[in-house]
Structure 1
Amino acid sequence: MSFSPLLSATMPVIFHAIVALALCLLTIVMFTLPKGNRMHRTLGWVWVIGMGFVAISSFWISGLRHIGPFSAIHVLSIYTLFSLVANVRAARSHNVKAHRKGMKSLVFGALVLAGLFTLLPGRIMFDMVTGG
């Protein structure tokens, strides 16, 4: 493992990756702590703001280009932003079932699947993990 591929990337990529990795850890904490209390709400807002940052920062990352400077992954970023709003609304209206389902779906799509795509050959995280 080598951090040099990430550290030699542009600032948007560095911040995007660091916040996304931190959110992976925070997600584990959020899924293990009791739900609905003050700590859950506070950490939940940290998570939502962080995910918003990750989604928005992706628009300054254009390594893959399918439509102008954008790629298919940017559709996921737009979906993430809308999903964040919908899931916060569900929580604020005490629709726990919708909030739980929506957040699990968002974690799977925006963190797990998107994270796996960063491990494809030729991507910065692949180079970081393999020492390339």
Structure 2
Amino acid sequence: MTTLSTLPPAVAIHLTAAVLATALGPVALWARRSRAQRPRLHRAAGYAWVTLMVLTALSALFISGSRGPRLAGFGPIHLLVPFALGMIVLSFRYLLQGNLSGHRRTMQGVYIGGCVVAGSFTLQPQRLLGQWLWGSLGLI
């Protein structure tokens, strides 16, 4: 069975950063939306989350799968890389312009699309994370 220590470095970095970003995202989102707003927590968690998302996106460029159509080693899933990075840049642009609702919507969208939706696809039984999860539960 493959373990984190036996994975290629790019895959290990990608997986670790993605899982941490998925776990940290709600902290950054909650810190500004709760009744007692915590701007310092929001900013710290937000910057950490953005760093993890950038690391996740950039490490994906060094991973090529063997399934599906490929163009120069890149598959359709790699289209998420410029999209995620572009949305993060747009979110900071909104922030600099004082457009807090645009910043909020964009970051929520990146979290939902990049962490929740894309992350849920990794739980398919034929994917590494899915094999670990479903195999540990004895379902595959």
TM-score greater than 0.5 by the shorter chain: yes
Matched with 1:100 is: 104
What secondary structure sits across from 1:122 in the alignment?
coil
Contact 1:6 1:125 in 2 (8 A): no
1:27 aligns with 2:29: no
Partner residue of 1:38?
Answer: 40
Q: Tell me the equivalent position of 1:109.
A: 113
- The residue identity in structure 2 corresponding to 1:88 is F
Structure number with higher relative contact order (C-alpha < 8 Å, ≥ 6 residues apart): 1
Q: Is the 8 A contact 2:28 2:41 kept in 1?
A: no
Identity %, equivalent residues: 30
1:14 to 1:103, Cα distance in 2 relative to 1, 3 A: same
Per the alignment, residue 49 of structure 2 pairs with 47
TM-score, normalised by the number of residues in structure 2 = 0.83
Amino acid at match of 2:24: L
Q: Note if contact 2:50-2:88 (Cα within 8 Å) is conserved in structure 1.
A: yes
Shift of 1:36: 7.0
| TM-score normalised per structure 1 | 0.88
